[in-house]
Amino acid sequence: MHPLRVSVRAVCYRDNTILLAEHRDDRGLWYIIPGGGIQHNETLDLAFKRELLEETGGEADMGDILFVREVIADELETTYLPKHLHQIELFVEATNFRQITEASEPDKDQIGMVWMPLDKLPDLLFFPKAMVGALQTKSFDKIYQGHIM
């Protein structure tokens, strides 16, 4: 049996930019909203703060859940995700971002973070691609977005 993984991602805007974790692998540069898995007996707000600090070296105030994405790796034609991964991702509003240090525990292939102009999102290898329009307009019409890439 493969456990369901739950993660939290910090959606942080500044002016007309969004904070992204920048990665590089054989596909070239690609981007995601910073965040990661919630550990056993860890609250959502503590995981939010820990993941943001680990991946960006920053702190922010946790706001509301903007949307939920589900990922089932075995249902995708091609993926760089671990086999049998089933993950629920909670995308949470992050406000008052403050840079306090360097990223302490970046993800595998993560090379940094970047404040990306919102109008550049469609041109990037970005996940989840299906949410680019909503992230650009900051308009989330429903919380559960389903199994999207």
Q: What is the CATH number of the domain that holds 108?
A: 3.90.79.10
Q: Are 54 and 63 in contact (CB under 8 A)?
A: no
- Which structure tokens are listed for 118? 């919102």
Taking only the tens of pLDDT, the chain with its 149 residues reads 678 889 999 999 999 999 999 999 888 899 999 999 999 999 999 999 999 999 999 999 999 999 999 988 877 776 777 677 788 999 999 999 999 888 877 777 889 899 999 999 999 999 999 999 999 999 999 998 988 77
Range of the domain at 10: 5-147
Q: Are 126 and 18 in contact (CB under 8 A)?
A: no
Amino acid at 11: V
Count of the separate structural domains present in the chain? 1
pTM over 0.75: yes
